[in-house]
Amino acid sequence: MKVGIIGAGAAGLAAAYELTRQGCQAEVFEQAPFVGGQASTFLVGGGRLERGYHHLFVSDQDMVELIQELGLGDKLAWLESKVGVFHRGKVWPFSTPLDLLRFRPLPFWQRVRVGLWSLALQRTRDWRKFEDITAQEWLARHMGRHACEVIWEPLLRGKFGAHFDQVSMVWLWGKFYLRVASRKGAGRREVLGYPMGSFGEVFDTLAQRVAQQGGRISLSSSVRRINVQDNAAVGLEVALPGREPEALAYDAVIATTPSYVFTQLVPPMPPAYQEKLERARYLAAVVLVLALDRPLSNIYWMNIADRQIPFVGVIEHTNLVDRSLYGGKHLVYLTNYPGRDSELYQKSGEQLLQEFIPHLRKINPEFDASWVLEHYHHRVDGAQPIVGRQYSQRIPDHRTPIRNLYLANTTQIYPEDRGTNYSVRLGRQVARLLLADQGKPWPAA
């Protein structure tokens, strides 16, 4: 049994790992010159840093187990995180319930109301009751319109831009319910996980393990088409580096690309499935990474509740992970999630730097452009699926209508928000599904 896998991100590598562990042949094709996809890294100050900020929550058990299986368990550190909100010229700490009670932009009784409802959400297991309501509607109804505008709307806008008012309450529930597991101790401070050699090391090690188990990973290799005969996937057309595209035969195919890429690789599917693929909407991530000669703030994760500022999050990585890993540099991500057709997405790193820098003074009045030693610009396509109401009805099955063709991408992660943990789980699950399907009639046919 020989399986072709499209994409060497968390899902594709995890699928290859599971298949090769179970004695199957797996070949992974990745268009980028590196593995890791959205969780891949680049070098800064001699250390490996994720292109987009990454950490783990305590609830991310599939990633924790994988890291242990790969022999990297002793490199996984659990570190106290400091969260803040920038509101009307001031940075407010937002790490503990006590911080909420001290958050003066809301009247005291509203802070109590927000606190009580947050507690209730953290204890609610049944997310299905939130399927039919948007987060904005739910928050305004329960926590109050003012609290919604001050605290939650910036967070939703931060992740979903102009689509903020369409986001399902299930998405926000996930943030409350799953993150509470990451809070520890009497002060209920959040701890976050970070593999000290970087997520890049985890996925490189996973790729090596796949190879040791007999799998093959081809980088800089773009899949142009999934070959289909008699409604069954029979192989891939792949452009290997420096070669003309060629047809390679497989018994089954797993695609881990975003849905809008997948539809380009296959003939149109039956309408019910095709519609699910075409209705999947994503936002991209634009990330500017600054290497500074001193800290910008003492906060790790800062939500920007100020629409005049052109970025929505300031993530100061070296307030979580020691800067000695990066030659002593202080590393700050400035981030936004625009559509791919937006002006912000099109801008160069230089343009973003010029646009973003004046706003850093609002966060730290002492900030000076001379603090910036280096800057790096990254764009991530298909970074965040937009999770609307009744989302469970819109998720395409892993088994596509084409026999032996499987889809494993981030639009299928639900009710949790996308993340490396869930892509690893997804990849392994789909590999097991594929193996279990062998010799059986194709259910979706």
Q: Given the rule CB under 6 A, which residues bind ligand FAD?
A: 6-12, 29-32, 37-39, 52-56, 222-223, 256-257, 261, 285, 287, 380, 382-383, 409-410, 418-421, 423
| Rounded-to-integer distance, Cα 412 and Cα 11, Å | 12
> Residue 137 and residue 237: Cα distance in Å, rounded?
47
What sign does the CA torsion over 434, 280, 33, 292 have?
negative
* Run of H or E residues at 27: strand 25-29
How far apart are the C-alpha atoms of 37 and 31, rounded to whole Å? 10
Q: Output 4 or 144, the one with its CB closest to ligand FAD.
A: 4
Q: Which is nearer to ligand FAD, 134 or 336 (CB)?
A: 336
Is residue 149 exposed (0-12), middle (13-18) or buried (19+ Cβ within 10 Å)? middle
Nearer to ligand FAD, 178 or 269 (CB): 178
Our CB check for ligand FAD shows the closer of 91 and 265 to be 265
CA distance 20 to 34: 20
Q: How far is the CB of 223 from ligand FAD (least distance, A)?
A: 4
Nearer to ligand FAD, 154 or 313 (CB): 313
Closest contact distance (angstroms) between CB of 321 and ligand FAD is 12
Q: List, in order, residues 6 or more apart from 434 with CB less than 8 Å away.
A: 3, 19, 252, 254, 406
Closest approach, Cβ 176 to ligand FAD, in A, equals 17
Residue closer to ligand FAD by CB (options 144, 338) is: 338
Residues 195 and 320 sit within 8 Å (Cβ to Cβ): no
Residues 6+ away with beta carbon under 8 Å from 105: 87, 88, 92, 150
Q: 41 or 96, CB closer to ligand FAD?
A: 41
- Position 404, amino acid: N
- CB of residue 63 vs ligand FAD: minimum separation in angstroms? 7
Minimum Å distance from CB 39 to ligand FAD?
4
Q: How far is the CB of 239 from ligand FAD (least distance, A)?
A: 9
Q: β-strand 330-336 against 313-316: which pairing, if any?
A: antiparallel
Q: CB of 117: closest distance to ligand FAD in angstroms?
A: 25
